Amino acid sequence: ETGVTQSPTHLIKTRGQQVTLRCSSQSGHNTVSWYQQALGQGPQFIFQYYREEENGRGNFPPRFSGLQFPNYSSELNVNALELDDSALYLCASWAQGSSYEQYFGPGTRLTVT
């Protein structure tokens, strides 16, 4: 158990809809990153949040957005869902300055039909 939790575990959405995924960081961790893991692939970095601001972004379109709250929990929002957005979404948390120790949550499995 890493102390990082994610919700929901699974969900199914229809193409064109919007979705919000949630992540609760491990205690003492003030930075969170989100990753997308398509079937049979390694996780791909989406973006990172520190002090409630986006602090780095991977090669994902603007319809992927996020929020970080004062308690360091985080959300990933995806608008205008596409079939290719079907994936396992993982969040990882760590303390700023200790990025070498990142711990992942169990992930949210999103299926877009």
Burial annotation 35-65 (CB, 10 A radius, 16+ → b, else e): bbeeeeeebeebbbbbeeeeeeeeeeeeebb
- Cβ contact 88:37 at 8 Å: yes
Q: How far apart are the first and last CA of the chain?
A: 32
> Least Å distance between CB 60 and another protein?
12
Whole-number Å distance between alpha carbons of 74 and 92? 10
**Site stretch for another protein (CB under 8 A), options 13-21, 65-73, 74-82, 85-93:** 85-93
Binding mask 51-80 for another protein (x = CB under 8 A): ----xxxx----------------------
The residue from 23, 76, 92, 110 that contacts another protein (CB under 8 A) is 92
Stretch that binds another protein, among 13-21, 66-74, 77-85, 95-103 (CB under 8 A): 95-103
Q: H helices within 1-113, ranges in order?
A: none
Which of 20, 30, 44, 86 touches another protein by CB under 8 A?
A: 44
Q: Kindly state whether residue 111 participates in binding another protein, applying the rule CB under 8 A.
A: no
Among 29, 35, 72, 110, binds another protein (CB under 8 A): 35
CA–CA separation, 25 and 82 (whole Å): 28
